[in-house]
Amino acid sequence: MSEGAGGADGVAGGVGLTALLVAAARAIETHRHDSLARDVFAEHFVLAAPACAGWPVRIQQVPDGDANPLWGRFARYFGLRTRVLDDFLLRSVHADARQVVLLGAGLDSRAFRLDWPADCVIFEVDRAGVLAFKHEVLDGLSAAPKAARVPVPIDLRADWAEALTIAGFDPAAPSVWLAEGLLFYLPGTTETHLIDTVDRLSTGGSALAFEVKLDKDLLEYRDSPLYTSTTQQIGIDLLDLFNRESRPDSAGNLTGRGWSTSVRTPFEFTRHHGRGPLPEENDALAGNRWVFANKPRP
């Protein structure tokens, strides 16, 4: 692996390692007989990363299987999220948008696995080390993207709007944006700036989906099986990585700027698809919301 891949901004630790957690969950989901989303690349990321030694890529490799809070319920959450956001992106590109911007793209392989319209461009924004690792693995597999794909290696706390436009993004054309598993790692001011920037770069007909946590106090669920099992089994302390500042009301801010927004719980989609996590006691997922927003044409 390159220096960047193992370095401070790579996938070996810190927030970069969470990209591998989601990849492992997608690998497990892919191998389920009733999978909601298939990502044949996901297990290759896990197998290539020394930081994931011993992680499962199939539920059969987990001694307590679906009863395991991390590789059972939490992984199923990521599988459901992947499917719901796949559907959202495909709906958006078949409507107006031909530019797709994945903010905090991590090891998202949608450019390689979804059937995009021929004129689609997919911009993947994440830190250089994460994207370097991703490229090494995908190059090793000779994977070919199914749309034009433009990596934008930059920290989202820097001037990513300029980097994106230099990379070819056109603010005058409709776009669809995704911030999946991202915003709660960022300072509140960075989230506000990110949402403002998406609004500024979005013309009418654009769309955005993002995930937030509404919990007033993230520590309320610190003993939740999802958090404790993630720390104990793979050494990722999510509460330590989440930004603990009070969060902006990004959905409300977009509504105030004329976007139409819908704020949904993941559990609604579990019921719709017939599989996925349902509410439980002391639930780290209780405050999770998936927000879908559309900017009307003038």
Of 26 and 205, CB closest to ligand SAM: 26
Toward ligand SAM, which CB reaches closer, 93 or 105?
105
State the residue number with the nearest CB to ligand SAM: 106
Contact between 29 and ligand SAM per CB under 6 A: no
The answer to whether 19 and 130 are in contact (CB under 8 A) is yes
Distances (CA, A) of 139 to 16, 43, 116, 136: 20, 15, 21, 5
Q: Is 111 in the site for ligand SAM (CB under 6 A)?
A: no
- Would you list the DSSP string of 213-248? E--S-GGGGTT-HHHHHHHHHH---HHHHS--SPPP
Helix axes 266-273, 75-95, angle to 10 degrees: 90
End-to-end CA distance of the chain: 48
Local structure of residue 70 (DSSP, 8 states): I
Give the whole-angstrom CA distance, residue 160 versus residue 156: 6
Does the footprint of ligand SAM cover residue 80 (CB under 6 A)?
A: no
22 is a contact residue toward ligand SAM (CB under 6 A): yes
Least distance (Å) from ligand SAM to the CB of residue 18? 4
153 sits near ligand SAM (criterion: CB under 6 A):
no
Q: Can residue 105 be called a binding residue for ligand SAM (CB under 6 A)? A: yes
Taking CB under 6 A as the criterion, the residue among 4, 6, 69, 104 binding ligand SAM is 104
Tell me the one-letter amino acid at 110: R
Range in contact with ligand SAM (rule: CB under 6 A) among 88-96, 149-157, 200-208, 282-290: 149-157
Residues sharing a CB contact under 8 Å with residue 259, sequence separation 6 or more, in sequence order: 199, 208, 293, 294, 295, 296
The reply to whether 79 sits near ligand SAM by the rule CB under 6 A is no
Asked if residue 180 binds ligand SAM (CB under 6 A), the reply is yes
Is the CB of 39 or the CB of 205 nearer to ligand SAM? 39
Torsion of CA 65, 181, 15, 62, to 10 degrees: 10
Could you tell me the smallest distance in angstroms from the CB atom of residue 93 to ligand SAM? 18
Q: Does 199 bind ligand SAM (CB under 6 A)?
A: no
User: How many of the chain's residues bind ligand SAM (CB under 6 A)?
Assistant: 21
Distance (Å, rounded) from C-alpha 187 to C-alpha 80? 26
Least gap, CB of 134 to ligand SAM (angstroms): 9
Contact status: 294 vs ligand SAM (CB under 6 A): no
> At closest approach, how far in Å is the CB of 4 from ligand SAM?
12
Chain residues that interact with ligand SAM, rule: CB under 6 A: 15-16, 18-19, 22, 104-108, 126-127, 130, 155-157, 180-182, 185-186
